[in-house]
Structure 1
Amino acid sequence: MAAGRRTVAVIGAGKIGELVLSGLLRAGWPAGKLLASARRPARAQELADRYGVRTVDNLTAVAEADVLAVAVKPQDAASLLAEIGPKIPADKLVVSLCAGLPTAFFARRLAEGTPVVRVMTNTPALVDEAMTAISAGPHATDEHLAVTEEMFTPLGRTIRVPEAQQDAVTALSGSGPAYFYYLVEAMTDAGILLGLPRQVAHDLIVQTAIGSAIMLRDSGEHPVKLREAVTSPAGTTISAVRELENHAVRAALLAALEAARDRARELAAQAD
């Protein structure tokens, strides 16, 4: 059965769950094939009004959906699975969007043989430019991965990775948009310090970021080569790069990503 004809239930439709719902609808997924559950009735009504999808309780979602996209916070996953786990048949696909939680976490709480696919996407899904990493659990087949890819490809790009790499994915691309926003914020402040109006500084930086990203994506060149093309001997750019190196920006980034990876592992340990 093609994924687009399956009924998908987003269980725990918070920010990430809403990204999935809205992306599927933009891609032409029939609203009648989408269900959503939320902890608060007001949130459920908000989703129903905004997207025209049917909101249901968790057990109804389990009973009616072909694919269960679990998007609750990691610390809420154990209690959710205690509620719905015994009702999930072993042939139903479970797609986990719970940051940090391995498929083994689900396997211990679901019927033997239940296919679980672990997914890490990011917020650029709102503009169909997400980066989504997909990993198969022990019982997930290529067909299950294909169904998951069909769900997330409309949101941007997808990539299959071994599950052992998912914590690194979380640190790099899952949290990655925040690093870029942080950099844009800092560069905007620098532009103001240099005498530019805030909006002018913002527009300059955003368009420069877009152009640079497209060059990275489309040119096939290594980022070092692209950077060197901007860096003239004794020029302005090399002076700026020297200051970045003097302030150990590269080392700070490495430490930041390691901290994000370690926190993902902590969340998984706390959830268990």
Structure 2
Amino acid sequence: MPELPEVETTRRKIEPLLRGQIITAVRHEPSHRYQGTQAAVGRRVKGLTRRGKYLMLQLAAPGAAESEPHDLELIVHLGMTGGFRLEPGKHTRVTLETGAGALHFDDPRRFGKMVVVRPGEYAGMPTLSGMGPEPLSEDFREDEFVARAATAGAVKPWLLSQKPVSGVGNIYADEALWHARIHPAQTALNADEASRLYRAVREVMAQAVEAGGSSLGNGEGNYRQHDGEQGGFQGRHQAYGRAGQPCARCGTPIAKIVLGQRGTHFCPQCQVVR
């Protein structure tokens, strides 16, 4: 957490607060997790984009024409527990100040990151520079996915690598594999399996984005938006977090194993290793 649906929801919610604003200050504790942030001060936010689980604030000189490309990007990775808030709290790590007010980045477990770079200069961020296509874009092609899946190792870790498709994390990998009826440890998917998984990834991600992502529990690291609103997709989970509960298809209790050092949920009746 957060994964693509949560990050995309964050982008949509905070973009109206930042677009067109000039960043007047960036305040944070000394940390290697926040690099080059002072370069953002005095810059105008042209817009917010997203790549996988990364937010990108497009920064330009205040007097630059709207038609001119931005020349800096403030890259934000929310980590496991990061999120923006309207008010500072005990876990506030970074504060972005603009003429319209301030946004505070809260991160109880301190895994979030921010760095200012030139557009496309992502060599220091190997996950970002090497990730696959966006799951809801035209670049995510079924034929290419099917071809790559034929030689893949265990399918869930393969999805989590971000190389076949971007933005899929632990929650949505479990959900997509349940919908596709594929065991998380299955290797070398055949064409039918890979096609089912391709469609499941697209459908699950589209539904999760529409629902505003998933909020799990009520702890301090629970995902929510800057205005306190939680996601709504957790009520539609069929596998993730449902260990011991009946499968919605067959009634068999959902199982939980550890695969690739990640808790993994699946139906042992509907999802079997071929």
TM-score (norm 2): 0.27
Q: Which has the higher helix share?
A: 1
Which has the larger share of strand?
2
Larger Rg: 1
